[in-house]
């Protein structure tokens, strides 16, 4: 079975500070991992994905994530927070070849303080 745990349902950072959103996964086979962002009243937008290539993945809007198999983690980071980063962030895992069912974490709401 596969699952995702996001530590911290709410994270607040100051504008310009480091953003760190945590995600740990559980999977019996090598996973595909994703980070999505959701702005109010909108759908999900893909930030980045890990599909067994480079372990350090760069995404849009300055975000990146590192796949650490030994820690079963895929934490999302951004060096300097911007006001426009305020949103809800979801980590997701997909493991079965040929299947497109994503298992999502419970989400982390990021607040950026001016």
Partner 1 sequence: KAGVTQTPRYLIKTRGQQVTLSCSPISGHRSVSWYQQTPGQGLQFLFEYFSETQRNKGNFPGRFSGRQFSNSRSEMNVSTLELGDSALYLCASSLGLPDEQYFGPGTRLTVT
CB 78, min distance to partner 1, A? 19
Q: How far is C-alpha 19 from the chain's CA centre? A: 11
Q: Are strands 32-38 and 87-94 parallel, antiparallel or unpaired?
A: antiparallel
The answer to whether 67 and 58 are in contact (CB under 8 A) is no
Q: Any contact of residue 99 with partner 1 (CB under 8 A)? A: yes
- Beta carbon of residue 4, minimum distance to partner 1 (angstroms, whole number): 10
Alpha-carbon torsion angle 30, 1, 75, 55, nearest 10: 0
Judged by CB under 8 A, how many residues of this single chain contact partner 1?
A: 27
- By CB under 8 A, the residues from 64 to 83 that bind partner 1 are none
> What value, to the nearest 5°, has the Cα angle with vertex 43 and ends 76 and 92?
40
Of 81, 102, 110, 112, the one binding partner 1 by CB under 8 A: 102
Minimum distance from residue 32 beta carbon to partner 1 (Å): 5
Shortest CA distance to 27 belongs to which of 109, 93, 114? Answer: 93
Taking CB under 8 A as the criterion, the residue among 20, 46, 60, 113 binding partner 1 is 46
Determine contact, residues 112/85, Cβ cutoff 8 Å. Answer: yes
Site for partner 1 in 4-43 (CB under 8 A): 32, 34, 36, 41-43
Q: Which residues contact partner 1 by CB under 8 A?
A: 32, 34, 36, 41-46, 49, 51, 90, 92, 94-107
């Amino acid at each position: 079975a596969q699952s995702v745990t996001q530590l911290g349902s709410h994270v607040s950072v100051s504008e310009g500070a480091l953003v760190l959103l945590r995600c740990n996964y559980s999977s019996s086979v090598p996973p595909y991992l994703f980070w999505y962002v959701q702005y109010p009243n909108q759908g999900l937008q893909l930030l980045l994905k890990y599909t067994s290539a480079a372990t350090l993945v760069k995404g849009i809007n300055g975000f990146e994530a590192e796949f650490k198999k030994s820690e079963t983690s895929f934490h999302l980071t951004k060096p300097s927070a911007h006001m426009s980063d305020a949103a809800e962030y979801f980590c997701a895992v997909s493991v079965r070849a040929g299947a497109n069912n994503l298992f999502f974490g419970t989400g982390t709401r990021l607040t950026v303080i001016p």
